[in-house]
Amino acid sequence: MTKEEPSLRDLTRVHLTNLNRVMYPALNITKQEVITYYIRMAPRILPFLHNRPLTMHRYPAGVGREDFYEKDAPQGTPDYVDIFTRYSETADREVHFVLCNNLDTLIWLANLASLELHVTLSSAATYDSPDLVLFDIDPEPPLSFDDTIDVAHIVHGQLEEAGMRSYVKTSGKKGLHIVVPLAAGYRFEEIRAFAHTLGKKIALDTKGVVSEFPHSQDPGTIFIDYLQNAHGKTMAAPYSLRATDGATVSAPLSWDQLKHGIRPEDFNIRTVLSGNEDPWRGIFDTRQTIGR
Amino acid sequence: MKIHGGEFLTPGRQSGDKSGHRSPQGRTRKDVTGVSGQEPVLATGISGEPAIKKDQPKALVIPKPRPDERAHTGKAGRPFWSGSITIGLVNVPVRLHTMVRDRSFSFRLLHREDGQPLRYDRVCTKDGRVIPWADTVKGYEVRKGEYVVFEPEELKAVMPESDRKIRIEKFVYYLSLDPTYFETPYILLPDRSEEAYSLLVTVLQDLGRAAVGTITLRTKEYPVVVHVYEGALVLTTLRHADEVTSPHAFEQLHSLPVPKASELALAKRIITELSGDFSLADYPDRYQEAVMGLIEKKLAGEKIVREEPHPEEAKELMQALQETIATLAGK
């Protein structure tokens, strides 16, 4: 008795290649595992990626080998991939952004060894108008991840006071990202000013926190980076893998989960797969205005 | 839009055409002469009317290339030729730069067994020996198996000397030139002659004219046209008259039926509906793109032969796919 197995071709239009190529040599994780990860995360990651211009960070031969950023849809991009064409001032030409609007596109990206997926703070439809504010919080040694968590809670508290709901995730590297979903119509200058003002306020009140770029690398400080709130800037998408030895994930967390003792490495390709509630679920149901 | 009238370029084509834009002869003469009284190399014959009429279709819209694809960006490389544009007694020193690049690619022939490139040899058809260059002469086959033989010096003696001049003989309406004769465009850049160059650009632009004349490149003399394209003077070499077949050589075209009015009206409607701006970007070279893609993949060590992963190998992946598709469908 053999059951008729569906073939891969029945399930996806993506032509998968080099599935056994090692992507994370330290853990011997193959491309097949990377693709499987993204397939499993698709129900969580697709709603966030929808219509958001992507920047691919590709590692064709795996982490530790040659890598490159790619904003343009590469040659041979299949038909099922949505494209958003837009003139880029920095590049002085039209850029054909990939929009990850379906499962096949996500699988295709993984197959391209785009381990990291980065997205803009605005969606393609309203490209000049951000719908997210980003607080990028990074510690400089000897300060630790625990210290970063403390600062994140302060930012969270300030935002709550202003009546705004915020969402937190690990960057997957050493810091934390706090994201505030916004109503339509804001300009980048406005959200940058907002993030800067809040950062300055916290820096004044809190020892070790800096809000200005020249001090961002000072030892023993934590930098609240407001400069990421700019046209064309990107952040690692929630649930994006990162190109680290430990195959970390930029992992969304609930504010309750954000406690001393957790480490960015705890959230990786093998641990994030668990089926509990998505802490960022419904993020785009909260369209907020900046209290001016 | 035709090169018209000059016997040199359009043999047997003077009277048969039905250009709707024709002006009275007298006016034509007056408009296009006044530059030189020489035998015309290229004469306009037609149209004393402005080059760009309001009801004329739009000119080609050539998209700006993406910077990484631009053949020759910013810094001009080495000029391909330098000399001057000569109009009567006026000289405008210019440098000639190549403008088009051939993106086609060629494969080398290899020995399948060891992958080594093959080479071509000059082999004597009589005794099968490989002949060194020094022992070769050029022959022109006059009859089957009969050759007129030339030593290199004999050919050199009749090669035209390049006198470093683009001799302008006439000015014509640019839109009156038929692209049939266009061969290769080159960009002309001023050679410490910015003012004169700019004057020429502006006056040609304002009058909608192009300059016609001759240039000698390497060993060949070409008729050329110089026109303004995106603020630059562009020189295009033209084919010689006898290199282009006149449609009049085809009997079939002499007795075409006159279309019925109703059919004509319908055809015009269809064409009007399908009218649009032309963009070359809509026509990529798909074969070239595909082959280049294959080359990149080969370089990256990927196999091109389509292979499906074996279901057993990709079992976990398949299971994830089935579950995720079910989840997404359930939403």
Tell me the count of A-B CB pairs closer than 8 A.
Answer: 72
Distance from CA of A79 to the nearest CA of B (A): 15
Query: What pLDDT is stored for residue B219 in this prediction?
Result: 75
Query: What pLDDT is stored for residue B303 in this prediction?
Result: 61
Confidence grade of residue B105 (pLDDT, cut at 50, 70, 90): confident
Q: Are B168 and B175 in contact (CB under 8 A)?
A: no
Distance from CA of B321 to the nearest CA of A (A): 6
Average pLDDT on B7-24 reads 36
Average pLDDT on B148-173 reads 85
Confidence grade of residue B89 (pLDDT, cut at 50, 70, 90): confident
Average pLDDT on B44-63 reads 41
Across A271-275, B48-52, B222-226, which has the greatest mean pLDDT?
B222-226
Q: Which of B168, B163, B161 is nearest to B224 (CA)?
A: B168
Least confident of A150-159, B61-70, B112-121, B193-202: B61-70
Straight-line distance from the first to the last Cα atom of chain A, in angstroms, rounded to the nearest whole number? 69
Cα dist. A77→A58, B66, B290 in Å?
Answer: 15, 18, 11
Query: What pLDDT is stored for residue B118 in this prediction?
Result: 87
Distance from CA of A167 to the nearest CA of B (A): 23
To the question of domain A12-126 being in CATH 3.90.920.10, the answer is yes
> Whole-prediction pTM value?
0.53
Output the DSSP codes for B256-315.
PPPPPHHHHHHHHHHHHHT----BGGGS--HHHHHHHHHHHHHHTT---S--PPPTTTTH
CATH assignment of A132-225? Answer: 3.30.70.3300
Q: Is the pLDDT of residue A87 over 60?
A: yes
Parent domain of B75: 25-101+162-247
Using a CB–CB cutoff of 8 Å, tell me whether B69 touches chain A.
no
Q: Can you tell me the distance from the alpha carbon of B211 to that of B172, in angstroms, rounded to the nearest whole number?
A: 6
Query: What pLDDT is stored for residue B88 in this prediction?
Result: 85
Average pLDDT on A51-60 reads 95
Query: What pLDDT is stored for residue B255 in this prediction?
Result: 86
Query: What pLDDT is stored for residue A221 in this prediction?
Result: 86
Q: Where are the extended beta strands (E) located within chain A?
A: 22-24, 29-30, 54-58, 68-70, 82-88, 93-99, 116-120, 132-139, 167-170, 176-181, 209-210, 222-225, 234-236, 252-253
CATH no. for residue B224? Answer: 2.40.290.10
Q: Are A104 and A12 in contact (CB under 8 A)?
A: yes
Query: What pLDDT is stored for residue B64 in this prediction?
Result: 47
Angle, helices B315-330 vs A31-49, to 10°: value is: 10
Query: What pLDDT is stored for residue A219 in this prediction?
Result: 80
The pLDDT tens digits for A148-186 are 999 999 999 999 998 999 999 999 999 999 999 999 889
Which candidate from A17, A42, A94 shows the least CB-CB separation from B328? A42
Q: Is the pLDDT of residue B229 over 80?
A: yes
**Which residue in A has a C-alpha nearest to residue B330's C-alpha?**
A43
Preferred mutation among A23, A36, A72, A106 to probe B, highest tally of B CBs within 10 A: A36
Q: Can you tell me the distance from the alpha carbon of B207 to that of B202, in angstroms, rounded to the nearest whole number?
A: 9
Please provide the average confidence, as pLDDT, over all residues in chain B. Answer: 75
Percent of chain A with pLDDT over 90: 62
- Has residue B58 been placed in a domain? yes
**Which residue in B has a C-alpha nearest to residue A92's C-alpha?**
B67
Query: What pLDDT is stored for residue B30 in this prediction?
Result: 35
Q: Are A41 and A272 in contact (CB under 8 A)?
A: yes
**Would the ipTM clear 0.85, i.e. be above it?**
no
Using a CB–CB cutoff of 8 Å, tell me whether B152 touches chain A.
no
Average pLDDT on A252-270 reads 93
Residue A60: φ, ψ to 5°: -55, -35
Query: What pLDDT is stored for residue B314 in this prediction?
Result: 79
To 10 degrees, the CA torsion angle through B27, B32, B35, B40? -120
Average pLDDT on B161-174 reads 87
Residues of chain A with CATH 3.90.920.10: 12-126
Q: Do A40 and B313 touch (CB under 8 A)?
A: no
The count of domains in chain B is 1
- Has residue B113 been placed in a domain? no
Q: Can you tell me the distance from the alpha carbon of B67 to that of A88, in angstroms, rounded to the nearest whole number?
A: 12
Q: Do B67 and A75 touch (CB under 8 A)?
A: no
Q: Is the pLDDT of residue A244 over 90?
A: yes
Query: What pLDDT is stored for residue B28 in this prediction?
Result: 34
User: What's the burial of A150, exposed, middle or buried (CB within 10 Å: 0-12/13-18/19+)?
Assistant: middle
Q: Is the pLDDT of residue B23 over 50?
A: no
The pLDDT tens digits for B289-312 are 888 888 888 787 766 555 556 666
Which candidate from B67, B292, B314 shows the least CB-CB separation from A8? B314
Query: What pLDDT is stored for residue B46 in this prediction?
Result: 37
At B167, list the tokens.
């001799």
Query: What pLDDT is stored for residue B33 in this prediction?
Result: 35
Query: What pLDDT is stored for residue B1 in this prediction?
Result: 37
Query: What pLDDT is stored for residue B39 in this prediction?
Result: 34
Q: Can you tell me the distance from the alpha carbon of B173 to that of B211, in angstroms, rounded to the nearest whole number?
A: 9
Residues of chain A with CATH 3.30.70.3300: 132-225
Query: ω into residue A142 within 30 of 0, thus cis?
Result: yes
User: What's the burial of B47, exposed, middle or buried (CB within 10 Å: 0-12/13-18/19+)?
Assistant: buried
Distance from CA of B280 to the nearest CA of A (A): 15
Residues of A whose CB is below 8 A from B294 = none
What length does chain B have?
Answer: 331
Q: Is the pLDDT of residue A269 over 60?
A: yes
Q: Which residues contact A58 (CB under 8 A, 6 or more apart)?
A: A67, A68, A69, A70, A112, A113, A114, A115
Q: Is the pLDDT of residue B160 over 50?
A: yes
Q: Which residues contact B18 (CB under 8 A, 6 or more apart)?
A: none
